Every structure is written in structure tokens, then in C-alpha cells.
Amino acid sequence: MKETISSSQTLLAKVVFPAGWFGGLGYALLMSWVNPRAVTPPTDINSFRFGILLMLSLGAIVIYWLCIPLKKVSIDEQYLYISNYLKEVRLPLGQIEEVRENFLINIHPVRIHFRTPTVFGRSILFMPKVRIFAMFSPHPVVNQLRGRARSSRHLRERK
């Protein structure tokens, strides 16, 4: 049976948050040019514009690095299912070469590296399901993926 191991908040982090970030800050920047008095108290408008540009730039780096690459990931007994919400691919679990987690970042992003290139590249990034009060401990899905990949490779080698 296919089980989704990525967070249900993946679509929010991948699409909704970036759209809101760029839309909101872009609107504030536009308004600072069209009607400066409407968006800021009578202070230095150039400092306000610079601050908005800085937030847009730093946000773009974080969003490009952490949000846009997120994938929806599901698993069953034999396969890993990866989706970018436009297309889905199915890979044998034996294709998994390495699984890494960054537990220092709040969403605990997990990167799966593959033995051969896939439609999405040699690795993918996903956000596992949220756990409360488990900030600095490894997510159980990491060991689950490692174990299933190992088992799949051993079964294939026996055949």
C-alpha cells in the first residue's frame, strides 16, 4: 500500500509561501514608488525601498535553495514515488544510494541521492511529516528509507 512520507504542508512551502513572499513584498516595493506616503511613515523612503529589496533578495535565495526543490514523496513495499505536482515518477527502492537529513533547519529537509540520474536529477529534497518536540533528533523516515533501500538491494542481489 502506498504511503505518503512527505509533509502535507509541502505544497504550501513549495508554492503558496513563495507566491505570498514575492507578491507581498513586490506589492510593497511597487507602492513605495507609486504612493510612498501610503506604505511608510514620513521617514527615509530610500531606506524602506532598500529594506524591501534586501528582504526580497534574501528570501529569493532561501526559497530557491529550500522551497522550490521540495517534492512530494510516497513509498510502498517496492517503489519510491516522487512528484513535483506536475508529474510523478516511480523508482525502485534499490535506486536509493544515500539518505541525509538536515535536522538543524526547522522543516528537517531530507535529501535522497540516487544511484543513477532520474527525471528530477541525482537527488531530491523533501519535507518529512512534522513531529512536535523533536527538533534535534533524526526523523524516523530517514532510517525507514535507508532500511528499505538496503532490503531492496539485498533481494535484487539474491535473484
Domain contains 1:
no
Grid cell of 39 as nine digits: 506604505
Q: Examine the domain organization and report whether 42 and 91 are in the same domain.
A: no
* CATH for 93: 2.30.29.210
Q: Examine the domain organization and report whether 56 and 99 are in the same domain.
A: no
**Count of domains for the chain:** 2
**Global pTM?**
0.84
Q: Examine the domain organization and report whether 78 and 61 are in the same domain.
A: no
Unique residue bearing C-alpha cell 514515488: 81
Distance in angstroms (rounded) separating the CA atoms of residues 134 and 124: 23
State which residues form the domain around 99.
Answer: 72-158
Q: Examine the domain organization and report whether 101 and 152 are in the same domain.
A: yes
Q: Examine the domain organization and report whether 63 and 76 are in the same domain.
A: no
Provide the 8-state DSSP code for 129: P
Model confidence pLDDT, tens digit, residues 64-120? 999 999 999 999 989 999 999 999 999 999 999 999 999 778 788 999 999 999 999
Q: Name the average pLDDT for the chain.
A: 89
Unique residue bearing C-alpha cell 541521492: 113
Distance in angstroms (rounded) separating the CA atoms of residues 62 and 53: 14
